Structure 1
Amino acid sequence: MDGDFKMKVVYLLSILPFIGMLCILPFVNRVEPFVFSMPFIMFWVAIWTVLTSVILGIMYKLDPRNKEDDKK
């Protein structure tokens, strides 16, 4: 992939946790249903905490600036 395209993907990936945690949160703010014995809102925050870590790992791997250090 082209380096410029990778950076655009990295920037788009950085928006996902913001959308999931802050923008959609008011729409999923409810107690029922229970998921894994947690209220839905607590499950939503927990799953986005994990997804944010995964997204940050993907962003790190896609960032071309991190590959420059490996080549040296």
Structure 2
Amino acid sequence: MKRLYFLTVIPFIGMLGFLPFANRVEPFVLGMPFVMFWVVLWTVLTSATLAIMYKLDPRNKEDEKK
């Protein structure tokens, strides 16, 4: 159960930990500078990670039974 909460560390490391390596303007991805694409990408991945955590959390399944 507690291992599930370690998934929240992945977006934090991805967005802030690797940002110095992604801090450049070129190349352009989808018409955005790379650093802006990096932030948008991790925003979407954070939502996906939280959705996975929600589906895997056993406490959410208890509410469905009631």
Q: TM-score, normalised by structure 1?
A: 0.85
Match of 2:38 in 1: 44
| 2:52 aligned to which of 28, 48, 58 | 58
Q: Which runs of 5+ in 2 are unaligned?
A: none
Q: Which runs of 5+ in 1 are unaligned?
A: none
Match of 1:34 in 2: 28
Sequence identity percentage: 70
Q: TM-score, normalised by structure 2?
A: 0.92
Give the number of equivalent residue pairs. Answer: 66
Offset of residue 12 of structure 1: 2.3
Q: In 1, Cα distance between the equivalents of 2:65 and 2:21? A: 46
Q: In 2, Cα distance between the equivalents of 1:68 and 1:37? A: 45
Match of 1:13 in 2: 7
Q: Find runs of 4+ consecutive structure 1 residues off by over 6 angstroms.
A: none
